[in-house]
Copies of this chain bind each other. A is one copy, B any other.
Amino acid sequence: MKIAVLGTGVVGKTISSKLIELGHEVKMGSRTNPNEKATEWVASVGAKASQGTFAEAAAFGEIIFNCTKGDATLDVLKLAGEKNMNGKILIDISNPLDFSKGFPPTLSICNTDSLGEIIQRTYPEVKVVKTLNTMTCALMVNASLVPGDHTVFVSGNDADAKAEVKKMLASFGWKEKNTIDVGDITTSRGTEQVLPLWVRLYGSFGTANFNFHIAR
């Protein structure tokens, strides 16, 4: 499948490399083409990898991963261009973390709204699916990094889009029983709001190799 990954940071690179490993064609999007980090990534993974502007990547992808930081996401999606995203699945991994006052971060959006919802409202023809935002990126693409059962949450309004994303998650190693469809995109509010606890646990454990699980 042709996939766009927006973002050249550690999340974008981790997702992109896994997608290449799974046989997909990936165009990594950034503000500029060429981009130093994207060039480096493309060189490291070979033929099925390419780079482009956010707009070029979004136009290329049948599915689009948003791997940008929450405070940049809305700007980036504007650059990606509504017409390049309409009708497509946007897998949103971003979190509205605000580090402007240091650690621990607060949320720039929360409680009565969420970044997932804002994206969906801004781009009503895009099938936004929020997922993978509650864990470290190495775990996103390798569920077995943390032993035992643990959970990946999925939120979105479009059932078919969520079914497609669940297939993608399965290819990342996520068992069906550990993939919880929380509900429509308003449930992003819930999954984004677990970040403050995640961040404190990270500080306490000294490692990001842990995950939320819903025991039942």
Contact = CB atoms under 8 A, between A and B. Distances in A.
A16 B113 CA distance: 37
Nearest to A209: B216
A23 to B, nearest CB: 29
Interface in A160-196: 180-183, 187, 189-191, 193-194, 196
Contacts of A187: 197, 200
Interface in A190-216: 190-191, 193-194, 196-201, 203-205, 207, 209-216
B201 A180 contact: yes
Nearest to A112: B106
A213 B216 CA distance: 10
Residue among A197, A211, A214 with max Cβ neighbours from chain B (10 Å): A197
A119 interface: no
Given A193-B193, A194-B193, A196-B193, A212 B209 contact: no
A212 B210 contact: no
Contacts of A150: 213, 215
A: contact size bracket:
35 or more
Interface string A105-118: 01100111000000
A45 interface: no
27 contacts: A106-B111, A111-B111, A148-B215, A149-B215, A150-B213, A150-B215, A180-B201, A181-B204, A182-B197, A182-B200, A182-B201, A183-B203, A190-B198, A190-B199, A193-B194, A194-B194, A201-B214, A210-B214, A210-B215, A211-B214, A211-B215, A211-B216, A212-B212, A212-B213, A212-B214, A212-B215, A213-B214
